[in-house]
Amino acid sequence: MATMETILLASFGMAIYIAFSIGANDETMAPLAGSGFVKVGTAALLGGLMAFFGAVFLGYKVEETIGRKLLVGTVTTTDAIIIVFSIATWLTVASYRGWPISTTHSAVGAAMGLGLIKWGIGGIAWERISGVVGAWVASPLIGLLVTMMLAKAMKRVLHAHMTGLRQRMRLSREAAFFLLGWVSFSAFSRGANDIGNATAFISIMPGQDPLLVRLVVGVGITFGLLILGRRIIRSVGLNLVKLSPMSALVAQISIASIMFIATLLGFPISGTHVLVGAVTGLGLAEGTWINVKALKEMLYMWVATFVAASGISAATYVIVTSL
């Protein structure tokens, strides 16, 4: 019994660590900070609180997909621990190397790695996996296109009706207030979509209350944002593309809508994908400079993450079952 309790505590510890890493790498608040309306620290605090509420109250949607719908076979407690361990291990390696990775790709990759090595091709729910991968591809493209169209439409309206400098300044201030609402909604949806990466395989363990698991582990996201998240917020919001309150509002409308719809449908998607797609669309619409090299590096790491997490999970399963 003592050994099982120790294993369970260790699993919770790893899940909280994963959640902390999610918060530490959450760029949801970047457009708000990039607009200059609030300081980076304030943006991190607001994002942490809203992500926590989203994780607790709506996180069950994606949690159900990751924990129960990706694999055909029955996931045992040992399997769940291996998957959580694999996610945490790859996050540690990536953090040490300073690589920008997707926790969503890590979670799905780790689950698939175990499923393939344990049951073979037949152990994977390929139809559901195809839907998830399709959402990965579509979400940043939709974010790019929607943001670009909204930005161009907004630009036409401004040129047609806002001719004076005073009018534009007043509109910019008003946009900043609307931005607070949309960015809060976006952080809520991001927390709801991301928490399953940390809790899905803990929640399916015997005797666990999923709501309580999300409540405990969700704290990790908040502290991750408060302690380390501000560096990512500063990097994306201030360095990738310079945002005005109006352009930041356009980006957040796109991001929040995509994240919320994906969460309601139970699709685990990368918030990083969506945000970078939206900010890139904004840059294209406004003709501002975009760090193409940084975008390529992030794309490479997203692919590498899926492969690496799968490999770690499969290797760990082989080692554990051979003992």
Q: What is the pLDDT of residues 66-75, one digit of tens each?
A: 999 999 989 9
- pLDDT score at 1: 44
Closest CA to 275 of 228, 227, 240: 240
- pLDDT score at 290: 67
DSSP 68-86: IISBSSPPPHHHHHHHHHH
- pLDDT score at 27: 78
Is it the case that residue 188 has pLDDT exceeding 70? yes
Whether the Cβ atoms of residue 99 and residue 192 lie closer than 8 Å to each other: no
Is it the case that residue 30 has pLDDT exceeding 80? no
Closest CA to 253 of 161, 131, 149: 149
Is it the case that residue 60 has pLDDT exceeding 70? yes
Taking the CA atoms of the chain, what radius of gyration do you get in angstroms? 20
Is it the case that residue 246 has pLDDT exceeding 50? yes
Whether the Cβ atoms of residue 217 and residue 198 lie closer than 8 Å to each other: yes
- The answer for residues whose C-beta is within 8 angstroms of residue 95's C-beta and 6 or more apart is 21, 24
Q: What is the pLDDT of residues 120-167, one digit of tens each?
A: 999 999 999 999 999 999 999 999 999 999 988 887 877 666 665 566
Closest CA to 62 of 221, 269, 271, 273: 269
* 124: β partners: 71
Token match 């943001």: residue? 147
- The answer for residues whose C-beta is within 8 angstroms of residue 181's C-beta and 6 or more apart is none
CA distance 51 to 223: 11
| End-to-end C-alpha distance for the chain, whole angstroms | 20
Average pLDDT of the segment spanning 276-286? 84
Is it the case that residue 241 has pLDDT exceeding 70? no
Looking at residue 96, its amino acid is Y
CA distance 180 to 197: 26
- The answer for residues whose C-beta is within 8 angstroms of residue 267's C-beta and 6 or more apart is 62, 65, 131, 132, 135
- The answer for residues whose C-beta is within 8 angstroms of residue 82's C-beta and 6 or more apart is 114, 313, 316, 317, 320
Q: What is the dihedral of CA 148, 149, 152, 157, to 10 degrees?
A: -140
DSSP 259-314: HHHHHHTT----HHHHHHHHHHHHHHHHT----HHHHHHHHHHHHHHHHHHHHHHH
Closest CA to 10 of 28, 18, 27: 18
Provide the whole-model pTM: 0.90
CA distance 1 to 233: 43
Whether the Cβ atoms of residue 274 and residue 255 lie closer than 8 Å to each other: yes
